[in-house]
Amino acid sequence: EFIIVSSEGDADTQISQIEDMIVRGVDALLLIPVAPDAIVPAVEEAADAGIPVVVFAADVNTDAYVTKLLTDSVLFGRVQGDWLMEQLECQGNIIVLNGVTGISTSDWRRQGLQEAIEACPDGGAGITILAEEDAAWAYDQGRLATERMLAAYPDIDGVWSQGGAMTQGAIDAFEAAGRDHHRLRLHLAGA
């Protein structure tokens, strides 16, 4: 039996779900941590109960797992950022769509963008981040965040998105606002 639950990014919910899986006596726990510190006691409790924990896609600040599978999210964000900086020639106003601040994957990808900006010949002085919002890699949140930023900023030269469906939400927001997204160096980050 394969049991799937989603915490919707909420650490308290994820802790309750892990505790429920312990009570159910699952044979293994595959976990995408939503908070690297808050869920540590629950992960350690599962390990103490003899349940092998496999951590993937985001980090947790304990070693109470049997294996961890992570990509280089800083490099992911850096490659996206380098591409955008090249397209903009390190000059312009950008908006940023993050995943969820506090989740290592999101934080590391954002770090990669910052490294790309700072690698510009002028140290990034020509780039202005007008606004950034968490959009949880979701279409609806990406669209809403972009709509808010479009309403607030008339001159957007680029969009850096951590990927997922929120990138498509950004494109749709530009189209709905009658803003020319083709003129933008819109980074279509895949995730």
- pLDDT mean for each 10 residues of the chain (191 residues): 91 96 97 93 97 93 94 94 94 95 92 98 97 95 97 94 90 88 52 39
Predicted TM-score of the model (pTM): 0.78
pLDDT of residue 46: 97
| Phi, psi (deg, nearest 5) at residue 161 | -120, 140
**Each residue of 152-190: b (16+ CB within 10 Å) or e?**
eeeebbbbbbbbbbbbebbbbbbeeeeeebeebbbbebe
Q: Is the dihedral of CA 28, 30, 33, 34 positive or negative?
A: negative
Calpha distance 72→76 (Å, rounded): 6
pLDDT of residue 135: 95
pLDDT of residue 22: 97
CA dihedral 97, 144, 13, 112 (to 10 degrees): 0
- The candidate with the shortest Cα–Cα distance to 154, out of 108, 109, 99, 95, is 95
One-letter amino acid at 28 equals: A
pLDDT of residue 179: 82
Instruction: Please give the DSSP secondary-structure letter assigned to residue 92.
Output: E
